[in-house]
Amino acid sequence: MIGSIEVRGLSRTFHTTVRRPGFTGALRSLVNPERAVKHAVSDITFDVSQGELLALLGPNGAGKSTTIKMLTGILTPTSGEARVAGVVPYRERERNARNIGAVFGQRTQLWWDLPVRESFAILRDIYEVPRAEHAARLREFDDILELSTFWDTRVRHLSLGQRVRCDLAAALLHDPMVVFLDEPTIGMDVVVKEQVREFLRHQVEERGRTVLLTTHDMTEVERLAERVVLINHGRLVLDGTLDEIRRRFGSTWQVRATLADPHTPVGPLPGIVLVRRDGPQVVFGPDGPAAPTVHTALKLVIERYEVTGVAVDEADLEDVMRAAYVHANAEAV
Amino acid sequence: MATLHGWRAARVTPLGELYTPPRITAAVLRLTVQIVLVASLWHGLYAHTGTTAGLTRDQAVTYAVLAVLASRLRELDQYAARDTVVQHLHYGTIVYWYLRPLPPHRYYALRALGEQLYGFAWALTGYVICLAAGVVEPPGSAAVTGVFALSLLLGQWVLYYVMLLIDQLCFWTLRNDAAIMILIFAQNLLSGVYAPLWFFPDWFLTLSAFLPFQATLSVPLSLYVGRIPLSDAGAQLALQAAWVVALSLVTRFLWRRAARRVVSQGG
């Protein structure tokens, strides 16, 4: 498909030199270097449809950035194949460059000493965007990102939030079909984050761009992505919708109850474990994979015990992903 | 082909300079002080002699002042603009050079061309003022002017490749500060900026003949002041052209190798 991403069995292995500790070790490493093999990405397969926003998640060092670098054409895979908007990115770098836009965290592509508008104009020339089209697109971006309040300022004088908004605009000025965003909102305040999210939503829903996003911000994932690919130790652990992931890893609810009689003996219920007790205050949690849903658990607690008050804590996406990471780590071991 | 409008990337460095007036003031002051001091120095050295090493006082002063002006051609403060290759590697922003339809080697060349033209405007302005003030002598003939211009062009081309080579080193070494310091010293010494090469001993001239530096400035300036006669110009121009070809092949090879290093070096 025109704006889609296809990844098939993608792998990347790095060969590094192991530095031995201490002075003697350093000398030995110089004379007789010890080589090590690191599988940054191993046999990853997934697709992103045109107009879809996919969150590529994983703990630090999981292989997310290496994957993005292969998809942007910066890095050639050791094996496997990838197509971005029908182009093999690492074979046709220049052709691929016209189809994609990218933002890498806090690394700006703008020229430090120039006003933002000059940077935009240089990118317009590099990508050969007609002037009228460039102006119209800038107006569109300005409506959401409010760039005009600072686009005559030199980049070195911008705040982080202003700079990232400009970088987002710079990445999309040539109207790319596919956009790669590697932790774009890292270090930004909540107001700017929301502005960026609105901008991304607009680009996906109204402009039909395909977006591959990596982030550690689960609020961002919740607000933007319907589908998530989770990788860990370079391997794909999970590919599914947020609902599926919640079902699989989200059973970290707690039911808090206040017993009418503080001396009532309390024991486990089917699939439910007593987490702690403090007088009349009892807290129940899920017990293993056969645990019921939070609603069933609540029903069971109320039916079994006479309670004067009850409250439910459901895990947010952050907890769900934490559980997924722990699960992935356990599987890797 | 992104070069249709991509050539406008050549404006990056000059624009950065124009948006930073203190740098322009500093350049004017520095150039003025350097020219006054260099002219005074050579006038002083010739105070008690008419000719030294086969060069008259006016020839020596002309050579020295032109050397100062020509060195201005590539002396812009890219470090302050955070636009050096070493900084792009350090901050990881070098990846963007590889994400655009304008290939990195072409972008680098265009940017350098812009710098060179901007520097040339400065050097030409300084030259006209110095010529009007009688600090430098005019060229001996129209033929000398033409040969000098061609030789200066080739010399700057050689210098571009030498500087590119040092920048390409960063892809392997991560830093090139020491290499740049050595380069600046070697360039100024071996190209005759500090003093014309004919003041140096024979072994130094032999060593210098195997390096590209004298092709950058010494040859064009020697042609201008008449130290190299027009009859020898052809051979000198051919040697400069040979350096251009040799260095272009080496740097082209290194660009290809450097592309494989981008990710491991902060990309």
Residue at A333 is within a domain: no
Contact in structure between B12 and B88 (CB atoms under 8 Å):
no
What CA–CA distance (Å, rounded) separates A296 from A281? 20
Query: How distant is the alpha carbon of residue B208 from its chain centre?
Result: 17
CB A186 within 8 A of CB A106: yes
Residues A243 and A285 in one domain: no
> What is the rounded average pLDDT of the residues B18-41?
90
Residue A156 lies in a domain: yes
CB-based contact A154 B19, cutoff 8 Å: yes
Q: Give the 3-state DSSP-derived string for A118-147, with helices as H, strands as E and coil as C.
A: HHHHHHHHHHCCCHHHHHHHHHHHHHHHCH
Percent of chain A with pLDDT over 70: 95
- The residue ranking higher by pLDDT, A218 or A85, is A85
CA–CA dist A289, A292 (Å, integer): 9
Full DSSP string of B110-141: HHHHHHHHHHHHHHHHHHHHHHHTTSSPPPSS
Tell me what the mean pLDDT of segment A235-258 comes to.
82
What local confidence, expressed as pLDDT, does residue B76 receive? 57
Measure the CA–CA gap between A298 and A300, rounded to whole angstroms: 5
Res B78: pLDDT:
66
- B131 pLDDT more than 90: yes
How far, in Å, CA of A41 to CA of A7, rounded?
12
- How far is the C-alpha of B207 from the C-alpha of A281, rounded, in Å? 89
Is A212 found in the same domain as A142? yes
pLDDT at position A171: 96
Is the pLDDT at A282 greater than 90? The verdict is yes
Residue spans of beta strands (DSSP E) within chain B: 51-52, 55-56
Inter-chain contact B101–A109, Cβ cutoff 8 Å? no
Average pLDDT over residues B55-79: 81
Domain of A289 in residue numbering reads as 251-314
Residue B195 pLDDT grade (very low, low, confident, very high; cuts 50, 70, 90):
confident
Q: Are residue A281 and residue A159 in the same domain, yes or no?
A: no
Cα–Cα distance list, B32 to A37, B27, B143 (Å): 57, 8, 29
CA-based end-to-end distance of chain A: 38
Given CB atoms, is B261 within the 8 Å cutoff of chain A? no
Q: Which residue has the higher pLDDT, A321 or B122?
A: B122
The CATH number of whichever domain residue A154 belongs to comes to 3.40.50.300
Judged by a CB distance cut-off of 8 A, whether residue A154 touches chain B is yes
Among A57-61, A314-318, B57-61, B189-193, the least confident range: A314-318
Query: Which residue in A177, A178, A149 sits closest to A161, CA to CA?
Result: A149
In terms of phi and psi (left: phi > 0; alpha: psi -120 to 50; beta: otherwise), the region of A211 is beta
Q: Give yes or no: residues A242 and A258 share one domain.
A: no
Final residue in a domain of this structure, among A219, A247, A275:
A247
Residue A143 resides in a domain: yes
Q: Give the separation between CA A321 and CA A216, rounded to whole angstroms.
A: 10
> A126: distance to nearest CA of chain B, Å?
4
**CB contact, 8 Å: A74 with chain B?**
yes
Residue A289 pLDDT > 90: no
Interface predicted TM-score of the whole assembly (ipTM), two decimals? 0.84
Q: Are residues A77 and A17 in the same domain?
A: yes
In three-state secondary structure terms, B194 is coil
Write out chain B residues lying below 8 Å of A98, CB-based.
101
Contacts of residue B20 in chain A, CB cutoff 8 Å? 113
**pLDDT confidence bin for A275, thresholds 50/70/90:** confident
**Percent of chain B at pLDDT exceeding 90:** 43
Find the mean pLDDT for residues A140-144.
Answer: 93
Q: Which of B16, B96, B262 sits opposite A114 (nearest CB)?
A: B16
Residue A243 falls inside a structural domain: yes
Distance, CA of B263 to CA of B147 (rounded, Å)? 45
Judge if A183 and A255 occupy the same domain.
no
Residues 75-94 in B contacting A (C-alpha not used; CB under 8 Å): 80-83, 91-93
Q: What is the dihedral of CA B252, A180, A173, A199, to 10 degrees?
A: -160
Tell me B230's DSSP state.
G
- Please tell me the least confidently modeled range out of A160-169, B5-14, B240-249: B5-14
Kindly state whether residue A155 falls inside one of the protein's structural domains. Answer: yes
Rounded-to-integer distance, Cα A283 and Cα A266, Å: 10
Tell me the one-letter amino acid at A277.
Answer: R
At A130, list the tokens. 């007609």
Q: Where are the domains of chain B?
A: 3-259
What distance in Å separates the CA atoms of residue B54 and residue B62, rounded to the nearest whole number? 14
The pLDDT, as a whole number, for residue B265 is 46
Q: Do A122 and B11 form a contact (C-beta atoms < 8 A)? A: yes
State how far the Cα of B71 lies from the Cα of A192, in Å rounded to an integer: 46
pLDDT value of residue A333: 59
User: CA–CA distance from A68 to each of A178, B53, B219, B239 (Å)?
Assistant: 12, 63, 49, 46
Residues A179 and A302 in one domain: no
C-alpha span between A252 and A285 (Å, rounded): 7
Residue type at A216? Answer: H
Are residues A127 and A259 both part of a single domain?
no
pLDDT tens digits, A3-29: 699 999 999 998 877 777 787 887 787
User: A176 to chain B nearest CA, in Å?
Assistant: 12
> Mean pLDDT of all residues in chain B?
87
Residue A159: its pLDDT value, please? Answer: 92
Q: Looking at the domain assignment, is residue A329 inside a domain?
A: no
pLDDT of residue B188: 80
Q: What is the pLDDT of residues A105-123, one digit of tens each?
A: 888 999 998 999 999 999 9
Following DSSP, what letter does each residue of B36-74 receive, concatenated?
A: HHHHHHHHHHTTT-SEETTEEHHHHHHHHHHHHHHHGGG
Does the pLDDT at position A272 exceed 70?
yes
Would you give the distance in Å from CA A189 to the centre of its chain? 18
pLDDT in the model for residue B267: 41
> pLDDT tens digit string along A212-229?
999 888 888 888 998 999
* Inter-chain touch A104–B92, beta carbons under 8 Å: yes
Q: Do A197 and A255 lie in a common domain? A: no
Smallest Cβ–Cβ distance between B98 and the set A93, A125, A126 belongs to: A93
8 Å CB contact between B193 and B67 = yes
Between chains, do B20 and A113 touch, taking CB under 8 Å as contact? yes
Is the residue at A77 inside a domain?
A: yes
Residue A108 is predicted with a pLDDT of: 92
Average pLDDT over residues A271-291: 85
Tally the domains of chain A. 2
Query: What pLDDT shows up at residue B4?
Result: 61
Q: Are residues A240 and A259 in the same domain?
A: no
**Cα–Cα distance, B11 to A322 (Å, whole number):** 49
CA angle A85-A90-A91, nearest 5°? 90
The whole-number pLDDT of residue A250 equals 65
- Residue A102's φ and ψ, nearest 5 degrees, are -150, 145
* Number of other CB atoms surrounding residue A326 within 10 Å: 11
A152 in a structural domain = yes
A166 shares a domain with A63? yes
- Residue B210: strand, helix, or coil: coil
Q: What 3-state DSSP class applies to A238?
A: strand
B227/B230 Cα distance (integer angstroms): 9
Q: Quick one: which of A151, A209, A220 has its CA closest to A184? A: A220
Mean pLDDT rounded to a whole number for chain A: 88
Q: Which of B55-59, B228-232, B239-243 has the lowest mean pLDDT?
A: B55-59
Q: Check B12 against A111: CB less than 8 A apart.
A: yes
Q: What is the spatial distance between Cα A70 and Cα A81, in angstroms, rounded to a whole number? A: 10
Beta bridge partners of B55: B52
